[in-house]
Amino acid sequence: MPSQPADHDAFAELADLLLNVGRLVRARTPSDAAGVPLSETERTVMRLVDLFPGSSPSDIAERGRLQRSNVSAALRTLEDKGMVERTSTSGRGVAVHATDLADRNLAALRAAWGRELALPLADDVDAVRRCVALLTRLEGRLIDADPQG
């Protein structure tokens, strides 16, 4: 069922809250948990590599709505930081995978984020789980959506 114009305010409020909560969580992440520092583009690339292991750089660019040249630059930097490995596939293809260092880095960040959010949300874990399910669906739909419309 298509959304109605009256729903758009709720969607706009959700987007605004997501952006601000993300900023607040990032700001509250203890520096010792941050591990390998990453730029915004590198974080986006790592999220997509985690969601879609073995993706090609072109797939990462398309899914992340990023310029192919920016993905290539981010992958070079991430490789230098030990966060990704690129392997050849058939033909001239390349598959990108997270390294053990990247997995440890993400685990440390997720543990820190979990500790940060546990206190303010401990009284409503069921709502948190429902929210996670909703946001997971939203992320998937946004990744899969046609960027033109």
Indicate the pTM of the whole model.
Answer: 0.82
- The CA-based angle 8-13-130, given to 5 degrees, is 100
45 half-sphere exposure, CB direction, 13 A CA radius:
30
pLDDT, mean over the chain: 90
Boundaries of every domain in the chain? 37-114
Q: What is the pLDDT of residue 147?
A: 63
Share of the chain above pLDDT 70, in %: 93
Provide the pLDDT confidence category of residue 34 given band limits of 50, 70 and 90: low
Q: What is the pLDDT of residue 141?
A: 92
Instruction: Assess whether pLDDT exceeds 90 at residue 144.
Output: no
**51-89: per-residue pLDDT in tens?**
999 999 999 999 999 999 999 999 999 999 999 999 988
2 half-sphere exposure, CB direction, 13 A CA radius:
2
Structural fold of domain 37-114: Arc Repressor Mutant, subunit A (1.10.10)
